Amino acid sequence: MTEARTIKISKEMYARLSEIAGELQIKAKRPVSLDEALKYLISQRDRGIKITDLAGSWEVSEEEIAEIKASLREGWKKWRLPEL
């Protein structure tokens, strides 16, 4: 059996960790301990973040879309194939 250790965390961090454990519990459809939630968070950090993890995370306005498209059009006007 693994030896247990006590750590001190703020009430805010405890609440956030409990929230994550609750989300994991919904996904796993079984009780999830705070220890398991910490293991999950550490595994996520070790896994690293891929660009695809960010898909859908940016709430963009129509104005921002228009600005991005205009900027791309300008860039495309300047782009030329290299001569061989």
In this prediction, residue 15 carries a pLDDT of: 93
Between CA 66 and CA 56 the distance in angstroms is 18
Is the separation of the CB atoms in 37 and 21 below 8 Å? yes
**Domain segments of the chain: what residues?**
9-48
Q: What are the E-state strand segments in 1-84?
A: none
Band of residue 28 on the pLDDT scale cut at 50, 70, 90:
very high
Q: What is the pLDDT of residue 1?
A: 60
